[in-house]
Structure 1
Amino acid sequence: MQRSLTASLFCALTALTPLPSLAQTAEPAQPAAPAVACGGDLTAFLDGVKAEAVAQGIPAAAADEALAGARIDKKVLSMDRGQGVFRQTFLEFSKRVVSQARLDIGRRKMKDHAATFAKAEADYGVPAPVITAFWALETDFGAVQGDFNTRNALVSLAHDCRRPELFRPQLISLIKMVADGDLDPETNTGAWAGEIGMVQMLPKDIIAYGTDGDGDGHVNLKKSDDDVILTAARFIQSLGFRKGEPWIQEVTLPDNVPFEKSGLGGNLKAQDWFALGVTPRDGNTNFGQLDAALVLPQGRFGPAFLTYPNFAIYLEWNKSFIYTTSAAYFATRLAGAPPYVKGNPEPGLDTDSMKALQTKLQALGHDVGKIDGILGGGTRIAIQKEQQRLGMPADGWATPALLNAL
């Protein structure tokens, strides 16, 4: 899960292939000098971590237990420096992750744990499909949780001077989990960036939002479905989820939509879109007073959605537009929505052509971020502006026609 540091092991490409998390993909600028201690002799570094933990009220014995035998895992550091990039289109990605098998398992989970899901919605306002979709995409309901020793992963990343200010607090939190009897430092495994359990949370967030759903006195996100459900609901609530409101809604479009108003930066009400002829496929116009953005993952000829304020929690979880839209769509399917209408999107650009387009956009004064061949948020905004300037439908989709026009 994502908030400030929190990273996720997004096991969404296939049942066994994790996607890079936000803490992996959104690489911060390197500080001139680390704000916290890092590097140097490992023993001295661990002594400093212990002293900090004790200063925060954690027993010295727990720190000794947590850090005994800690080592640098070079594979963790290699993973941190060799993160992949996300280049699939919405249709490609969503087709692979929103599988019939995941839908079937998700619906069975919602039925088998109906009482816990009801408590999650009553206490935290988060409905079962939203929780279940994240549960599915994070680890395939616990099937793929990662096999890195969590203690060693966090020691490696905290000792490394690339991002110690992010990972040292997580290492301190892990020591607290050891002190509370909620983690065995020798045997606990998870993702390479230190995430634990079926919804891949970091120690600091487990301490803050972990909820005992099965009544055993502990929070076990690796094995307890009930703990997972309530903890995820509590965390999602903390991100600002609004009870009783939608998150995303598939729509059909008339030919004369003002596409320049589309995109996540739009500021219309849903009722304004309805008045323009944008029509919900489910026929539900009860939320017309809510702010709504028209999102077109593959342009005006592909699937179309209205996103509501609750969609923001998906962007808190992960900044990838394709991932978040797919996760939100998955939740609607679990809630009973039909498969989206694929449409017939215009062909997009390959990586080299996308880089060429980004280079042209940058030369025109647009901020597209890194020239990486990825159709990210900054590139979409720049595309819309140029499409509008050129008299083209401003749907934010990168096409050969736009590249040629520029």
Structure 2
Amino acid sequence: MTDRKHLKRRVRERMARTGESYTDALRHVLAARGAAPEGHPAGGHHDAALLHHLLPGHSEAMLAGLGGGIGFMYAVFEYKGHHPMMTIVAQAHPEPMIPAALARAGVAHEVRQTGSARVAERALRETLQAGRTAVCRVGRFSLPWRPGLPFPDPLEVAVVGLDGGDVLVRDARSEPERLPLGEFMTAWSALKKARHHLVSVTGPAGADPAEAVRKAIAATAAGMTGPVLGNAFDVNFGLSGMNRFAGQLGDARGRTGWARRFAHPEAFFTAMTRLHECLESEYTAPGATRPLYAAFLDEAGVLLGGTACARAAGLYREAGGLWSRIAARAAEPFPRYRELAEEKAELLLTEGAGAAGRLREIAATGAYEGPLGEDERSGLLAELAELAARAVRVEEEAAAALRAA
């Protein structure tokens, strides 16, 4: 407990000095202590950090960019008997990042998938016996140190070895977690459409670096400005989805406006805290992945020359700052939620499986705080809508610069 208080104090001091989010500052402090995951300490992008472990010659920022970097998907799902659930995916979506990054970098790799648990276990053992790491797509909430919602949300983890009856799983920490083989197979079998999905690197990068980043930038620009799925749901993607989000956030009267849609106090709390999570930690890196993508564009600019990458990088840094301000302001009225979110981030990065019990307690606690008065809710939504409108304007400029690059 004393060590946690000391860590929190160091993080707070860094936040005050740099203006970073809690997650960014935490990673920098842990890196200084030699306890952060490998990769860019402020990157905070799960898949890119895993790839950096496999391809240490590439930065986390470069790998994130090659995998598509940023995106924006906004949707509100409504089910009878439940409050609406809002989701934003701020990274490239829906194409999985790791296979995309490997393909663009020209890295020889093998993809295996089977519906049979027995065949899958054999493939896992063969991969490890060949001296390769197995990147496996598992059900996030089936992992004991990631308790949460009762549905099979996908998460990539790296299996780095077997020790007796345990699987050594690399997730958020720099050290692998131990998980009994049977429990790992349950998590690996949880995703119907991606059951037992395994990727392993079999050779070095072979693509021309300049051509690889050029293709990656083109794909990201296309995803931000044009159709992604080719159906009616595309209005929720890219700049279109971003404008939709900003408009509904500031709509005080319409049926789909947040003032009406999240009028119930618990629904409003869930929307605000979910907004914080989606812009800082869930399916993203801090600042809606924009600061990390700006670092990729810095590297890309060296390869491609010209000034377009530098201009886009500056704009995405500005946008990332605005998204982090939105996230922080949304969570500001809820100190208990912030306290638990910070503790969860600390435990995942420092203790992992060793803190599974406490992480389950946090997941089961529920941090509902409220209710905020109607005037308080209206004022908060107006502030967030104004910040979101500013972010959209910067993002539109950034997308234009990206196309030029």
TM-score, normalised with respect to structure 2 = 0.24
- Structure with the higher helix share, 1 or 2: 2
Task: Using CA pairs under 8 Å that are at least 6 residues apart, name the structure with larger relative contact order, 1 or 2.
Answer: 2
- Identify the structure with the greater strand proportion: 2
Q: State TM-score, norm by structure 1.
A: 0.24
Query: Over alpha carbons, which structure has the higher Rg?
Result: 1
